[in-house]
Amino acid sequence: MSPPSTVLVTGGAGFIGSHACAELLDHGYELIVVDDYSNSTPQVFTRMQRVAGRFVGAVYELDIRDRQALSAVFHRHAVDAVVHFAALKSAGRSARLPLEYYDTNIAGTTALLRTMQEHGVHRLIFSSTCSIYGEAAHGPLDESAPARPANPFAASKWVCEQILADVCARRPEYAVMCLRYFNPVGAHPSGLLGEAPHDPPGKLMPSLAKVAAGQRDRLRVYGTDYPTPDGTAIRDYVHVMDTVEALRVALDRLGDQPGMRVYNLGRGEGSSVLDVITQFSRTTGRHIPTEAAPRRLGDVAEYVADARAAARDLCWRPTRDLDAMCRDAWRFQRLHPNGYAESPRRLKPKEY
Ligand SMILES: O=c1ccn([C@@H]2O[C@H](COP(=O)(O)OP(=O)(O)O[C@H]3O[C@H](CO)[C@H](O)[C@H](O)[C@H]3O)[C@@H](O)[C@H]2O)c(=O)[nH]1
Tell me the C-alpha distance between 330 and 342, whole Å. 17
Return the pLDDT at 148: 93
Structural domain for 114, as ranges? 6-186+238-265
Query: What's the count of helices (H) and strands (E) in the chain, helices before strands?
Result: 12, 13
Beta-sheet pairing, 234-235 with 271-272: antiparallel
Tell me the C-alpha distance between 211 and 190, whole Å. 22
303 lines ligand 1 (CB under 6 A): yes
pLDDT digits (tens, 9 = 90+) for 119-149: 999 999 999 999 999 886 678 999 999 999 9
Return the pLDDT at 350: 44
The answer to whether 17 and 35 are in contact (CB under 8 A) is: yes
HSE-up of residue 304 (Cα within 13 Å, Cβ side): 14
Tell me the C-alpha distance between 263 and 272, whole Å. 23
Within a domain: 281: no
Return the pLDDT at 124: 98
- Give the torsion through C-alpha atoms of 110, 114, 116, 121, to 10 deg: 110
Return the pLDDT at 298: 85
Compute mean pLDDT per 10 residues along the chain, 352 residues long, and list them. 84 98 97 96 95 94 97 97 97 93 98 98 97 84 94 97 98 97 98 89 93 96 97 98 98 93 98 98 97 93 97 98 98 95 54 38
Tell me the C-alpha distance between 298 and 275, whole Å. 21
Return the pLDDT at 255: 86
Return the pLDDT at 349: 44
ipTM of the complex in this document: 0.95
Nearest to 261 by CA among 184, 173, 161, 170: 161
Within a domain: 219: no
**Is this prediction's pTM over 0.90?**
yes
Q: How far is CA 97 from the centre of its chain?
A: 20
- Tell the residue nearest (CA) to atom 27 of ligand 1: 182
Within a domain: 172: yes
Three-state DSSP string of 311-324? HHHHCCCCCCCHHH
185 lines ligand 1 (CB under 6 A): no
pLDDT digits (tens, 9 = 90+) for 54-97: 999 999 999 999 999 999 999 999 999 999 999 999 998 999 99
Within a domain: 253: yes
- Tell the residue nearest (CA) to atom 11 of ligand 1: 203
Tell me the C-alpha distance between 205 and 291, whole Å. 16
276 lines ligand 1 (CB under 6 A): no
Looking at the 3D structure of the chain, how many domains does it have? 1
Tell me the C-alpha distance between 223 and 94, whole Å. 19
Residue of 179, 183, 290, 325 best suited for mutating to test ligand 1, as the one with most atoms within 8 Å of CB: 183
The answer to whether 11 and 239 are in contact (CB under 8 A) is: no
Q: Which atom of ligand 1 is nearest to the CA of 180?
A: 27
Return the pLDDT at 121: 97
Residues 6+ apart with CB under 8 A from 91: 131, 150, 151, 153, 154, 296, 297, 298, 299
Within a domain: 250: yes
Within a domain: 139: yes
DSSP 8-class letter at 178: E
Tell me, in angstroms, the distance from the centre of ligand 1 to residue 203's CA.
5
What CATH number should be reported for the domain holding residue 72?
3.40.50.720
Within a domain: 305: no
126 lines ligand 1 (CB under 6 A): no
Within a domain: 313: no
Tell me the C-alpha distance between 282 and 250, whole Å. 34
Three-state DSSP string of 199-230? CCCCCHHHHHHHHHCCCCCCEEEECCCCCCCC
Tell me, in angstroms, the distance from the centre of ligand 1 to residue 202's CA.
8
Tell me the C-alpha distance between 187 and 222, whole Å. 23
Tell me, in angstroms, the distance from the centre of ligand 1 to residue 123's CA.
30
Return the pLDDT at 1: 63
